[in-house]
Amino acid sequence: MTAPPPTPTDEPQVRTPLEQVRQQAVELLGELGRTPRTLRVRVGDTAVEIEWPEPAAAVAPTAVLAGTASAALGLESPAPAALSQAENPTPDGGRTAGTPAADDARYVTAPTVGTFYTAPAPGSPPFVQVGDVVSAGQQIGIIEAMKLMIPIEADQAGRVTAVLRVDGEAVEYGERLLALADGEA
């Protein structure tokens, strides 16, 4: 099998429990029959949290999406292709663990198709900004897929050099969300 180069969030450990939690959340929502302000389902370390700031806001992402031209969203340069470009040009073959360079950026990529949010709620400050130092496991954004909010975490520590997608943008699986450079605080 021609496996793609390992991408940071390619196999999140929470995947299977997350699917179960997500299922529970969907069922719970269905049984409620109305939209709550907050829904939080947690099993062990895995949790799904959904907040509806106000009733109208729940439909807003759909409206935003309907108007986006997907051609502009990276179909010309799919993320995996770009990823391999980033990983291949190490002519000396070294895995460059301790040799930071300008094009040595690492990326946090989208674990699923959906809408990317940089902040926990509209108007809130973003999870991270350029220049921030993040630790492994730190939440850097949210992807909404089918009305479920999936927390996106950095898989490794680093300094944020770019936030590559804007708040509310539709993303595909594997698309780069955040660029990280080596950089202890």
The single residue among 58, 145, 157, 162 that binds other proteins, judged by CB under 8 A, is 145
Nearer to other proteins by Cβ, of 115 and 118: the residue is 115
Per-residue contact flags (x/-) with other proteins for residues 93 to 132, judged by CB under 8 A: -------------------xxxx-----------------
- Specify the length of the chain in residues: 185
Residue 64: closest CA among 166, 164, 177: 166
Kind and range of the H or E element at 8?
none
User: Exposed e or buried b for every residue in 30-61, given b needs 16+ CB within 10 A?
Assistant: eeeeeeeeebebeeeebebbbeeeeeeeeeeb
Q: Least CB distance from residue 98 to other proteins, whole Å?
A: 30
| N-terminal to C-terminal alpha carbon distance within the chain | 39
The single residue among 39, 50, 79, 177 that binds other proteins, judged by CB under 8 A, is 79
CA angle, 37 then 31 then 28, to 5°: 65
Per-residue contact flags (x/-) with other proteins for residues 26 to 65, judged by CB under 8 A: ------------------------------------x--x
The single residue among 57, 101, 136, 146 that binds other proteins, judged by CB under 8 A, is 146
Q: Least CB distance from residue 6 to other proteins, whole Å?
A: 11
Residue 147: closest CA among 9, 50, 43: 50
Per CB under 8 A, residues contacting other proteins are 1-4, 10-11, 15, 62, 65-66, 68, 70-71, 73, 75, 78-81, 112-115, 145-146, 148, 170, 172-175
